[in-house]
Each structure stands twice: as structure tokens, then as C-alpha cells.
Chain A
């Protein structure tokens, strides 16, 4: 488990919040996200934004999870903090528990041990006996965490705009005209404003995924979870989605993401953890170093699995 330097975090928070309140002509995704602190945050957080800025946006402690009918836990005593505005990348071989970790944070999987907290508010506590079903957390709490899935999962019976505006109007009870305006701004940012009235099935995978990102962002989540969001996409569509994610990172959106795009992970990460068999086996604040000169054997082995080399690539003179 690691904490990392938060020296000028609160400073930059303040300046961004000022930006959010003054009506600047160029709307940005980050502004929309920060607006939550002053207006729409109606959930359990009582503390003023200034007070919780020193607490990590997301804090996971001793998280343990076992699937029903499984003998060993899929997540075993996992702890980490994600400071506000930082990008946290979870790496690991398949079956290591990466997706389960994100699903547990989102409340989609019950946890049997540990706690999950947002800005210091504990939103989920492990209950040893509960193996199935989603977490019982309240609707308002769930809106504080956004999640985008590998398979987009737009609602096929709603248009692009309908998908984005559904939750803010239904759950956050916001005025539909406001929600609509904000949805259009978000769509503009991801270059899909002209598709607002299209149906999900009329869009490409990359377009659907960008809509799914907008659908999560309009709730101004304090933490955005991205679960292998480009894994189902054709290579040429990966770029358009990852560019959106990079822009979010630049604008200070707190994110936890699982990805198999190593060069993207290297570019976006503020912090990297490596999961293996449900435990954190490597953790670093220095992603550049991690990807270029991995220190631990496990990191070397994992990163090595993305390298390709022909077995007969040694010089001809070596061959007998």
C-alpha cells in the first residue's frame, strides 16, 4: 500500500473550482465534474469540499472477496489510496482479479472483508456471510462512482441523448433542460454532438464507448472506473476512445483503470499497481520507471508477456 505526494493538490483544486464557478466560454469535462462539489453533491458527505480535499478520493482497505462456490479468495487483503485528480492503473494477468476489484468498488460484487471509502466516507464494508448480490448502497452513493464497461452496455431502448440524460433526471432529479444542455456539451467534447438522436445500434463500437463515458461523466463521479474499455474495439477505434480518456486525465478526473494497452497505461498513469492472484505484488508512483526498467521479477515477467520475439532470431553464426 502506498500514499503519494499530495503537496499542491489542494492548491490546484481551488483554482479548478474557481474555474468551474465562473462561466468560462470553453466548457471542459473537468469543470463539469468539479461542479458537483458545489451543486449536486447531495449524498452522505457532510464535510465541505475544502475539508475532504486532504482525504484520498478513493480509499480501499484490506479488501477481501471470495466468489460463491470458490475455495480461494479472488481478492486478498487489497489496500490502496487514489488521491483526487490522479490516474490509477491496475495491471495484471487475466484472472488476477483486476475486473473484480473495479466491480467491487462499484458495488456490483459483495465484499467479505475490508472497507471502501470515498473522500473519507465509508460506502461499503465487508460482510463475511454475503457472497452474492450487489451491494445495498443507496442510489445517491452509487452516483458518486462512475463506471464504464468493456461491452459499452448502452441501453438499446434509449437514444444516445436518452442514455446520457436518464440517470441525472431520474436519480439526481435535475432539471431536464439543464441535463440536456450538459449532455450536449459532453457529446461535443467527444465529437458526437451530431449523433445525439441516433440509436446505440447505429454507432460504431468506439462511438458507443465514448457515449458510455459521457453517460458516466454527467453524474460528476468523484471516481471514474474504466474496465478494459478498449478491449472489445477494433484497433483503429481504440485511439478515439483513449484520446478522450487522456483529456479527462488532463482535466483532473480521478480515475482507476484496467487496461491491456501498455503504452497507453504508461502515458496516462500517475500510479501503477500489479495484481497477481488477488494480491498487490508491485506498486509504484513512477510509471515511467516501471514500464522501462521494471524492478521486481513479477513486473519483468508481466511486461515481458507483451514482448514478441522469434525463437530463431539469434544471429546465423550461432546456429550449427
Chain B
């Protein structure tokens, strides 16, 4: 059986797509969870209070220094067992990706807030805008413009990193691919190339539009 025939087997593509669904689900939930965590973290990072800033710095550095895989293992094999926590593999993945995405997004929020010149606050003050109006009409829209391109890129990184879930035994698209390759090992010896090729294209078609979007946003708002 050739590789093309393997892909055209009635069960193969639907199974890959159901695996892809798990990948997309983990990614979407992780990105959605990262947004509130990131906004709060970023806001806390710009506070004057030295202790709050220290805590946030510690959080960000810890998450950044650790490989995501190590974080996944700590969460799944370490903490969940230690605290006798009923955390399944998918839950552990989502938790780690939210903590990671939240920290990275928080740093983007911090940088965006700090990059807005003080003169924008001055102008708003002189015109009589209240603090709330200044933030909702000027500062937050400007900060969003500055951080959105990088945030969309962060989302693509989260999508790609979900493939690590396979090492916790989550049956997402890479795991499904491995299973199919195993089943057809003897009937289709070069199946791996075709299956992984198909998975590559699936990731590509999820991440590519995001990447295009990021580039488009960057160009659109480059002048701010």
C-alpha cells in the first residue's frame, strides 16, 4: 500500500481530524485562559509596589527558565500526585499552558503599557478626561494595538507546543498519527512520512493564518 492510499483509508483522515480537534481544543482553552491571567499579571507588573513586582518577576522567570516539558511533568507527575489531585493529562496540559501563556502575555501587556508615552496621559489629563476615560478611550486601545501582533504570535507558539501533550499520553493529533503508523507498520512501511506530512499540513493551516494576521496587524499599526 502506498502512502497516498494509506491517507485515503476510510478511518485514517477522520481519526486524524478527531485528534486535531483535541489539539485545537487544548490550544483554544489555553489561549482563552491565558488572556485574563496575562492581563492581570501585566497590570501587576506595572505597579509601584516592589513586593508585587518581585513576585511577578519570580513567576515570569520561573516559567521562562523551565522547559515546557519539565513544567508538564512537574504538574502531572509531581504536584497532582503530591496533593492527591485528580488532574488528568489534558487538565495538566491546559493548566501549564495557561500559566505559561499568562506569564508571557503578561510581559507583553507590561511592555505595551510602559511603551505608551507619558505625554498621552498628559494630553488626556489637560483635556479633562477622567482616569477611567483615559484608560478606556486612549491607553488600553493603544496598548492593545502594540501587543496584538506579538500576542497572536504567542498563540501560534501555544498551538505548536500542545504537541508536547503526547508525552503525557493525551490522544491529540500527534498521538493519533503514531497509532495509525503503528497499525499500518507492515502494510505501509513509509506511512510515517505521509502521516506526519499530513499532520504538518494541519498545523501549518492553523498557524499560518494566525501568522499572517500578526503580520497584517503589525503593518497596520506600525505608525502608532
B129 near A170 (CB under 8 angstroms)? Answer: yes
Of B117, B123, B142, most buried by chain A (CB within 10 Å of CB) is B123
Give the contacting residue for B129; candidates A106, A107, A167, A201; CB below 8 A.
A167
Nearest residue (CB) in A for B124 is A155
CB of A142 within 8 A of chain B? yes
What's the Cα separation between A142 and B224 when bound, in Å? Answer: 26
CB of A149 within 8 A of chain B? yes
- Kindly list chain A residues whose C-beta atoms are within 8 Å of the C-beta of B224: 156-157, 201
Shortest beta-carbon distance from B38 to chain A in Å: 21
If the complex has contacts A149-B119, A149-B122, A166-B137, are A156 and B128 also in contact, measured as CB distance less than 8 A? Answer: no
Give the contacting residue for A108; candidates B122, B127, B133, B141; CB below 8 A.
B122
B128 near A139 (CB under 8 angstroms)? Answer: yes
CB of B115 within 8 A of chain A? no
B120 near A153 (CB under 8 angstroms)? Answer: yes
What's the Cα separation between A77 and B138 when bound, in Å? Answer: 36
| Chain A count of residues within 8 A CB distance of the other chain | 29
Of A151, A167, A219, most buried by chain B (CB within 10 Å of CB) is A167
What's the Cα separation between A139 and B126 when bound, in Å? Answer: 8
CB of A147 within 8 A of chain B? yes
Shortest beta-carbon distance from A43 to chain B in Å: 10
CB of B49 within 8 A of chain A? no
B119 near A142 (CB under 8 angstroms)? Answer: no
If the complex has contacts A108-B122, A149-B119, are A156 and B223 also in contact, measured as CB distance less than 8 A? Answer: yes
What's the Cα separation between A139 and B138 when bound, in Å? Answer: 16
CB of B125 within 8 A of chain A? yes
A143 near B119 (CB under 8 angstroms)? Answer: no
A167 near B127 (CB under 8 angstroms)? Answer: yes
CB of B175 within 8 A of chain A? no
If the complex has contacts A156-B223, A166-B137, are A171 and B119 also in contact, measured as CB distance less than 8 A? Answer: no
If the complex has contacts A157-B142, A157-B145, are A139 and B137 also in contact, measured as CB distance less than 8 A? Answer: no
Chain B interface SS verdict (over half):
helix
CB of B130 within 8 A of chain A? yes
Shortest beta-carbon distance from A127 to chain B in Å: 18
| Chain B count of residues within 8 A CB distance of the other chain | 20
- Kindly list chain A residues whose C-beta atoms are within 8 Å of the C-beta of B142: 155-157
A153 near B129 (CB under 8 angstroms)? Answer: no
B223 near A170 (CB under 8 angstroms)? Answer: no
What's the Cα separation between A149 and B119 when bound, in Å? Answer: 9
B141 near A171 (CB under 8 angstroms)? Answer: no
- Kindly list chain A residues whose C-beta atoms are within 8 Å of the C-beta of B124: 155
A139 near B223 (CB under 8 angstroms)? Answer: no
Shortest beta-carbon distance from A131 to chain B in Å: 14
CB 8 Å contact bits of B106-125 with A (1 = contact, 0 = none) = 00000000000101101111
B123 near A157 (CB under 8 angstroms)? Answer: no
B138 near A171 (CB under 8 angstroms)? Answer: no
- Kindly list chain A residues whose C-beta atoms are within 8 Å of the C-beta of B120: 153, 155
Which residue numbers of A lie inside 8 Å of B, CB to CB?
103, 106-108, 134, 139-140, 142-143, 145-147, 149, 151, 153-157, 166-167, 170-172, 199, 201, 215-216, 219
**Sample of 13 more A-B contacts, CB < 8 Å, known A108-B122, A142-B126:** A106-B125, A139-B129, A139-B130, A142-B125, A153-B117, A153-B119, A154-B123, A156-B223, A166-B129, A167-B127, A171-B133, A201-B223, A219-B127
**Can you report 26 A-B residue pairs in the complex whose CB atoms are below 8 A from each other?**
A103-B122, A106-B126, A108-B122, A134-B125, A139-B130, A142-B125, A142-B127, A143-B128, A145-B126, A146-B126, A147-B126, A151-B117, A153-B122, A154-B123, A155-B123, A157-B141, A157-B145, A166-B129, A167-B127, A170-B129, A170-B137, A171-B129, A172-B128, A199-B223, A216-B126, A216-B127
